[in-house]
Chain A
Amino acid sequence: MHLRLPNAALIALLEAIPAQPIDTANPLTTLQPLISGTLTFAQALEPEIQAALDACAAIAYRQNRPGRILCDRLHSVRPIPAPACVVGW
């Protein structure tokens, strides 16, 4: 929860949207030997490792998730004023 952000409630709602389904194996499983240092560099340069790293980046940065761009923009938008502060409301 982004407690300090002016649009925290809306951002939290957008981030609660279920993750995009992906049709690859969990990349964490593939990368575990690399992270633990048990792979060799020859193995670490295999295409499967690069694919797992790319999948992690796509998930972490949520490039294909709906609302990502909106979330980014909301971090810098001024808070929605309370109705009492808006003339005419």
Chain B
Amino acid sequence: MRPTTQRASHPRAGVRRRVVRHSDTDAITRLVESEQLAAIHYGRQAAALIRQRFPDFYAAHVADLRTTPPHLLGVVQAFFSLAQQVIQLDHSYALTIDPANPLRVLHPALSDDDALSYLEEFHGWGLDEVCPEVYGIPTEQEELFGEGRNLLVAVLWSMADRTAWSATMFDMEEVIDYWVDQVAISPEQVAQLDRLPQLERTTDMEALCTALSAQPFHLPDGRPIDLGQVVRYVFGRTGNWFADLSCDELAEMSGSGIDWCSDDLIAIAADQTAARGWFEHYHALNALVTAEPTVLSAVVAAVQQAAAPQLTATPAGPPLVVDA
């Protein structure tokens, strides 16, 4: 007879452990993949965030609430309502947010199925589905330049087309040719676009913006504008995430960009306030340059003057003032 091979004992031999039955495994798998458990996850996450960031509200209104589907939705809505008391949010129709009264949205009058349907909107992204408001220049050509919109962007991008800040995603000659041919812009604007000067390739755009910021640009009504900051905003170079990023760019990113557990919401609010200020300044100036060719000429002249070669010792001239 051949000798039999001596086998080592199985490593788990003699160890008594409880085995999960196959039928339970199926039930667990169905549960894990269910919308209901996803809803429970979002509700727990929101409750934990309220407990961490808004402990008084949690103790008074959330801790003893039952984990029914409407309350799972309600807790998510309450969290974002409380968050929007601090920062500005962009959220879907699936949520009802009320920063003035977060308690109101904590108890939605919905059936379990309806509440779960609303929570399905978060599938895949969870609480990252809700993003902060951002104020950057759009990146879609039609949205940005359609129907002659954002003349100021087109002018500045054209002037800087040879510099290191060139907006390479667009062919500015093509955009302006399209405007001249297809869009109802005024003859004065056509003439201005035709003779737009171009900055030298070696222009230091940061230095140009600094020079522009040093001399306030006065609007016809006397209001001063920081033209250097407007230029930085137009090129997405403010260094402020909320001013340099557009809604469509944020939508392409994975997640909201905010860590709800650890980010400083006060600091975010301050950045958003600054970004919104530059957004409003840009749009006010854009409206003026679109309506008044003399204002556009003054802006172009200011940028040219700020880009004058630093090698010459000639000091910068007085700020341009456009008569009302």
Interface residues in chain A, defined as those with a beta carbon under 8 Å from any beta carbon in chain B: 18-19, 21-23, 25-28, 31, 34-35, 37-42, 44-45, 49, 53, 56-57, 59-61
Contact = CB atoms under 8 A, between A and B. Distances in A.
Contact of A60 (B19, B22, B29, B47): B29
B68 interface: yes
B67 A39 contact: yes
A21 B15 CA distance: 10
B47 A59 contact: no
B20 A41 contact: no
A41 B29 contact: no
25 contacts: A18-B19, A19-B21, A21-B18, A27-B28, A28-B31, A34-B40, A35-B36, A35-B40, A39-B66, A41-B47, A44-B40, A44-B43, A44-B44, A44-B47, A44-B67, A45-B44, A45-B48, A56-B28, A56-B31, A59-B20, A59-B25, A59-B29, A60-B25, A60-B33, A61-B32
Q: Lowest 9 CB-CB distances: which A-B pairs, in order?
A: A37-B68, A60-B32, A21-B17, A42-B63, A60-B29, A41-B47, A21-B19, A56-B28, A59-B28
A50 to B, nearest CB: 8
Contacts of A49: 44
B31 A35 contact: yes
Nearest to B70: A37
Contact of A40 (B18, B28, B32, B66): B66
Contacts of A57: 32
Given A21-B18, A35-B36, A57-B32, A42 B64 contact: yes
Interface residues of B, number: 35
B60 interface: no
A44 B67 CA distance: 8
Nearest to A60: B32
A45 B59 CA distance: 13
A1 B43 CA distance: 34
Contacts of A35: 31, 36-37, 40
Interface in B5-56: 12, 17-22, 24-25, 27-29, 31-33, 36-37, 40-41, 43-44, 47-48, 51
B83 interface: no
Interface string B136-172: 0000000000000000000000000000000000000
A53 B194 CA distance: 66
B62 interface: yes
Given A45-B51, A60-B32, A26 B66 contact: no
B236 interface: no
B316 interface: no
Contacts of B17: 21-23
A15 B263 CA distance: 43
Given A39-B66, A41-B63, A19 B22 contact: yes
B285 to A, nearest CB: 49
B65 A41 contact: yes
Interface in B65-101: 65-69, 71, 75
Given A56-B28, A60-B32, A40 B20 contact: no
A41 B44 CA distance: 7
